[in-house]
Copies of this chain bind each other. A is one copy, B any other.
C-alpha cells in the first residue's frame, strides 16, 4: 500500500482492503504519449476548451489543486508544489515515465479503453495496460466508426450496409460500445428506430468534409439502433456519455432522464445501458439505474474534476443506486493524472461513505466490504463479461 493511497478515514481492515483492491476502470481514454507544454497540459486538466482568462490558470481549479497535492508525490515531489515545478519534474521524467508512475499508482487491474478519441498522440489500449501494469480491453465509440464509414460509402444504400458490417467487425474485439449522441445532438432524441427509407435518404445527404461530425438526427438514431443490434448479438453493454463532459455540449440536453423513452424501448431487448459522468444529473441517473433492470451508472470523471469536493458527488450517487448497478471508471483522458485522480477520489469518496455508514451503525463490515468489491470491480466483470 502506497502512502499516497491513504484513505481519509479509519476503516476496519477488510473494508480498507476492499477499497484498495485493484479496480476495473471501465471507462477511460488513452493519455498523451508525448511531453506537454504548460499550455497544452492546462487544457488537458479541464473541460473548458479554452485557456484560462489572462492572469489566471487552470491550475486554480479543484482538479488543478489535486494535481499539485496528489500527483506531485507520485513524481517524487513534495505535495502542493507550484505548477511550474510540477511540470518541470514531469518533463524531466519524460512522458513515458510520468505515465507509468501515475497509471500504476491508480491501482487498476484492467483498463476498458474508449478508443474513440484515439490518434497518434494518444496511448492505445495495449500501452495503457502495459504502462499501468494491467490488462486492457477496447470499448468502441460508435460515432467514430460511422465517420470512417461515411468517408467510404458511395451511396445511401452502401452506407447502410457498410455501417452494419463495420460495427459488427469492430465489436468482435470489443467489450462494449459507447455513444456520444449527447454531444452530437442531445439525449432528447426520438427513441424510435428510423425507417430504412429515411436512413437511406439522410445518408445520401451526409456530407463528409474531412472530419465532419455526424449531427443528422436520423443517422444518429440509425447508428444507435444498429449498435443495439450488434450489442444484442454479442452480449455487449451500450454506454452513453451524459451530463458534464464536452465543451460543445448543451447541458440541458445531456440530462440522462431525457433518454427515458429509449431506455424503456430497450428493456425487452436485453442490452445493458451504462450511463457515464452524469453530473449534475447524477441523481437522475441514479433514479434510472434504480428503476430499470438494465441500466447501470458511474460518475466517471467527476470525482477527478470535483476533487476535494467529490465526496458529496460520490455520496449522492450512492443514495439510490442499487449496489449491483454502479461501476467505477475514472473517465480519464488526455493525461494520466486524470486516471490517478479518478481512482484516488473514487476510493476516498467511497471510503468516506462507508465510514459514515459504519459509524452510524447502518451497514455491517461484511456488507461494506462487499459493496466496495462490487462497485470497484465485480459489477464490471459481470456487465462486460470479463
Give residues in A with beta carbon < 8 Å to B.
6, 8, 46-53, 55-58, 60-62, 65-66, 69, 79-80, 244, 247, 250-252, 255, 257-258, 260-261, 267, 279-280, 283-284, 286-288, 290-294, 305-310, 312-313, 315-316, 318-320, 322-324, 348, 353, 356-357, 360-364, 366-367, 371, 374, 382
CB distance from A135 to the nearest CB of B (A): 23
CA distance A309 to B287 in the complex (A): 14
- Taking a contact as CB atoms under 8 Å apart, the answer to whether A319 and B292 are in contact is no
- Taking a contact as CB atoms under 8 Å apart, the answer to whether B48 and A293 are in contact is yes
Neighbour of A51 across the interface among B8, B50, B280, B293, CB < 8 A: B293
Q: A52-B324, A251-B287, A280-B286 are in contact. List 7 more A-B contacts (CB 8 A).
A: A8-B361, A60-B374, A61-B322, A69-B362, A244-B287, A279-B287, A308-B357
CA distance A308 to B355 in the complex (A): 11
CA distance A371 to B58 in the complex (A): 14
Chain B positions within 8 Å of A292 at CB level: 48, 50
* Number of copies of this protein chain within its complex: 3
- Taking a contact as CB atoms under 8 Å apart, the answer to whether A60 and B309 are in contact is no
Q: List 26 A-B contacts (CB under 8 A).
A: A8-B361, A48-B290, A48-B292, A53-B293, A53-B294, A56-B322, A60-B323, A61-B322, A69-B364, A80-B363, A251-B257, A251-B284, A251-B287, A252-B258, A279-B283, A280-B286, A290-B305, A306-B319, A308-B356, A308-B357, A308-B362, A309-B315, A309-B318, A309-B320, A310-B319, A312-B316
Specify the chain B residue showing the minimal Cβ separation from A382. B55
Chain B positions within 8 Å of A319 at CB level: 62, 306, 309-310, 312-313
Neighbour of A291 across the interface among B247, B286, B367, CB < 8 A: B247
CA distance A306 to B353 in the complex (A): 13
CB distance from A48 to the nearest CB of B (A): 6
- Taking a contact as CB atoms under 8 Å apart, the answer to whether A315 and B312 are in contact is yes
- Taking a contact as CB atoms under 8 Å apart, the answer to whether A363 and B322 are in contact is no
CB distance from A58 to the nearest CB of B (A): 7
A323/B61 contact (C-beta < 8 A), A283-B279, A363-B308 known: yes
CA distance A374 to B65 in the complex (A): 15
CA distance A284 to B244 in the complex (A): 9
CB distance from A6 to the nearest CB of B (A): 8
CB distance from A243 to the nearest CB of B (A): 9
Neighbour of A293 across the interface among B50, B65, B318, B362, CB < 8 A: B50
Neighbour of A360 across the interface among B308, B315, B357, B374, CB < 8 A: B308
A307/B52 contact (C-beta < 8 A), A279-B283, A320-B62 known: no
Chain B positions within 8 Å of A290 at CB level: 46-48, 61, 305
- Taking a contact as CB atoms under 8 Å apart, the answer to whether A322 and B360 are in contact is no
Neighbour of A260 across the interface among B53, B252, B258, B305, CB < 8 A: B252
Chain B positions within 8 Å of A283 at CB level: 279-280
Chain B positions within 8 Å of A79 at CB level: 364
CA distance A69 to B363 in the complex (A): 7
CA distance A79 to B362 in the complex (A): 9
- Taking a contact as CB atoms under 8 Å apart, the answer to whether B260 and A251 are in contact is yes
Chain B positions within 8 Å of A364 at CB level: 69, 79-80
Chain B positions within 8 Å of A312 at CB level: 312, 315-316, 319
A280/B291 contact (C-beta < 8 A), A257-B252, A313-B319 known: no
CB distance from A299 to the nearest CB of B (A): 12
- Taking a contact as CB atoms under 8 Å apart, the answer to whether A362 and B322 are in contact is no
